[in-house]
Amino acid sequence: MASSPRTRKKATDRVDVKAIVEAAGLKLSAEELKELEPAMQMAYDRLRLLHSVDLKDEEPAFVFRPEEVAP
């Protein structure tokens, strides 16, 4: 099964952690950037997946359950 262009992962789909951190006005060491990269890559991959969903004409519905929010 072929993947669509929206969901296909490319070698260029790596998160530029340094650019994101600098855009936020932060300065991290190379070691800190390296430690942060896996978490940011995971968040980026999940966000890309979320944006790849084709809802057609449907509108998403969200439910907030305060009892399920961590303290």
The predicted-structure confidence for 48-66, as pLDDT tens digits, reads as follows: 998 898 888 888 788 888 8
Whole-angstrom CA distances from 30 to 18, 27, 40 are 9, 10, 15
What predicted TM-score, i.e. pTM, was given to this entire model? 0.58
Instruction: Give the residue numbers spanning the domain of 35.
Output: 12-54
Q: In this predicted model, what pLDDT tens digit does every residue of 16-48 receive, in sequence order? A: 999 999 999 999 999 999 999 999 999 999 999
Residue 44 counted as domain residue: yes
Residue 49 counted as domain residue: yes
Domain count, the chain: 1
Residue 65 counted as domain residue: no
Residue 68 counted as domain residue: no
Structure tokens belonging to residue 58: 């449907």
pLDDT value of residue 62: 84
Structure tokens belonging to residue 71: 């303290």
User: Could you give phi then psi for residue 8, rounded to 5 degrees?
Assistant: -70, 130
